[in-house]
Structure 1
């Protein structure tokens, strides 16, 4: 996650919380009176009852808005908290960055009294359903193959968890990987790509041929013909999952 000292500089601009996804996350947290946000980044999706954010990158912490929960610089694998420190712990689109997943999940289980909420994705579904990585940038999918954890395996590490599909709205405000599934031109914007770790960490040289083909297909109209059905949809399931574990 230390890479976010260089990769995270645009997050406050491109990774704004989407209210529809926020509502699902906050509902999953239930009646928890206090919440710890692990891998908190700039603070997206933190409910008002968040009492502490844990984030290793100073660059990300510096982008947290005024009034956010206090933040401490630390990693998921070594949370600076006592046992049973809060009703709930959440970790949103962060577990793939952890150096030791099992240790990080064990720490979540140690500090949470009642519930853990994790937002992640199913890599197999994303590969099959998301046109960008399937048809234009398979190198980015290959990069994520090296770090994505199967959701069933993650649920097992959590001691059992229910999995909720997180459907992505066509006008999603949060610019994560598949957020622009109906706005393909966005992926040609370097600032947008800088806020998507699978693209930023794959590297511009590796992505260049696929991005050139995408730009050409958008110019000629081939993209709109090929994916015409997508343009009729308001939301899509491309594999993002909310895992909810009761302790």
Structure 2
């Protein structure tokens, strides 16, 4: 079982605190579903607290970090879900699909065990947030790891895809969450909360250039339009697949 977060999840609980605004979008997308499966559940971010949730997570370390009051968790992988067909009203997968060894198999398994909607919070690899201007390796990694938006329809049937604008003060420290707080990327601890920085070989040249641009004011000049923006389309998407009728 590939459990990457056994190694890289050291600061996850502290840095990856669910953002209530993103959580509201996910909750709304789940609709009236009462029995929900969370695949690649990690520490339980964005799991509804007012419904019955079953979590699936391959990493022992992430399971260990879950709250004692979190949903019941089973150690398993997306590609081999230990449930009967149509066991759940709805299913969710939050910023996890890029870690799955076989993304198509995992999504087809989610479809098999789910009666109605599947809600995915993911990233469109065709998008290029400003951080990739400094660290182009991130774009190459996104291209290699992330399904295209067209893949979801191919694997799940018709889907609705909606942008998820990221608030300037987002509490969840995923990769592009610090878009209006660029100095945060110079902090090694903050970078440790993103799997992408564990995956690229050498971010140092790009980070050094970012540091210089922040010192000289070049970053502010280059990205002036972001300085007062309340939110930013960093490429994150909510993908919702209804059950075939």
TM-score bin (small chain): over 0.9
Pick one of 145, 159, 177 that aligns with 1:161.
159
Question: 1 or 2, which has the higher helix percentage?
Answer: 1
Alignment of 1:230 with 2:226, yes or no, is yes
Deviation at 1:63, TM superposition (A): 1.1
Q: Which of the residues 108, 111, 125 maps onto 2:110?
A: 108
**Corresponding pairs, count:** 241
Q: 2:181 and 2:139 mapped to 1: Cα distance?
A: 19
Contact 1:186 1:192 in 2 (8 A): yes
What are the ranges of 5 or more consecutive residues in structure 2 without an aligned counterpart? none
Residue 209 of structure 2 is matched in structure 1 by 213
Distance between the aligned counterparts of 1:172 and 1:55, measured in 2?
A: 24
1:37 touches 1:50 (CA, 8 Å); kept in 2? no
Task: Specify the alignment match of 2:241 in structure 1.
Answer: 245
Is residue 27 from structure 1 mapped to residue 28 from structure 2 by the alignment? yes
1:9 aligns to what SS in structure 2? coil
C-alpha contact 1:155 1:243 (8 A) present in aligned 2: no
Moved over 2 A (4+): none
d(CA) in 1 for partners of 2:197, 2:152: 23
Contact 2:88-2:114 at 8 Å conserved across structures: yes
Q: Deviations over 1:65-88 (max 9, x none)?
A: 221001111100001111111100
Q: Give the alignment's Cα RMSD to 1 decimal.
A: 1.0
> What residue is the counterpart of 1:44 in the other structure?
45
> Residue 96 of structure 1 aligns with which residue?
98
Normalised by the length of structure 2, the TM-score is 0.96
- For the 8 Å contact 2:47–2:53, the answer to whether it is kept is no
Whole-angstrom CA distance in 1 between matches of 2:158 and 2:65:
34
* Unaligned ranges ≥5, structure 1: none
Deviation at 1:50, TM superposition (A): 3.9
Q: What residue number does 2:7 align with?
A: 6
- TM-score, normalization by structure 1: 0.95
Residue aligning to 1:146 = 144
